[in-house]
Chains A and B, each alone.
Chain A
Amino acid sequence: MNDENGEGLSPIVKIISGMIFPFIMIFSLYVIMHGHLTPGGGFQGGAIGASAIVMLIVAFGARHTEKRAGEEKLSLFESIGGTLFVLVAILGFIMAATFMSNFLVGSAIFGEIPPFGSNPGILNTGGILPILNFAVGMKVIGGLSAVVLAMALVSKEDD
């Protein structure tokens, strides 16, 4: 109401959402990177991250958010995530036998094999799974927030 464009909510909401934004992002990254160990993964973590950006859109207004991170930029982020996914999948049949094969199991990167049965969880496991989780996380953060931003901007056009 009291922004120069008349956008956004009150200063209290703006400051608090600005403060908790980094924490939500870190939590999102945590969920993405522990996808192969705990419940969660790329989609879930990505949805958390996207909700952080949506919170900024609600608090600061769509136009303000667009100046910082436009829908084009966000969807570029998404394209890069998708490309990373396909490239890792294609590396499957260059490095190993088939498309999408988990060629990193047994190698130095993410390649440890955990002991069978219950264990406390070792981060350096899972082969290509953490990489794909990360790619999907990027995709979901970029994509969902771009959709919400585009819809918010279009409904602004009317008035």
Chain B
Amino acid sequence: MSSIKIELRKDDVDFIKGVCASFNNDPQELINVLHSCQEHFGYLPAEIQEVVSEGLNMPVAKIYGVVTFYSFFTMTPKGKNPISICLGTACYVRGAEKVLDEFKKELGIEVGQSTNDNKFSLSSLRCVGACGLAPVVLVGDKTYGRVAPDDVKNILKEYE
């Protein structure tokens, strides 16, 4: 019978409500609303989903169901420098897995985790469409092509 308390700053609530309103508070626009919110906040914690639920007048369970269905949406904040390793087929056959292993080793984290200082987070993705540069690594918006395991240390150094 305990109801959950959702604590957010007023301008955050206003922002989310504003996004919902800009999509006519239409539940069919949920994915667009979530995109806008994630772009603004960086991730979609429970609090935000609760406010969206109120804005679009739909059950929060459904929103959670959608957030957990699509890999683009995340409920955990990313590190300051999010690292994504492309594991598309072209990158895979050119050794992307070994590059990923090297990142894991260097950072001491698994895919989906962030380093303790929140400097880096690690994720894998499927094909950014730059197969000519395989294997491809993205750090933030920057793309690194033809990455070999030996390059990993140098890439990380750029962000020290």
Indicate whether A and B interact. no
Residues of chain B touching chain A, judged by Cβ–Cβ distance below 8 Å, are none
> What residues make up the interface of A, taking CB atoms closer than 8 Å to B?
none
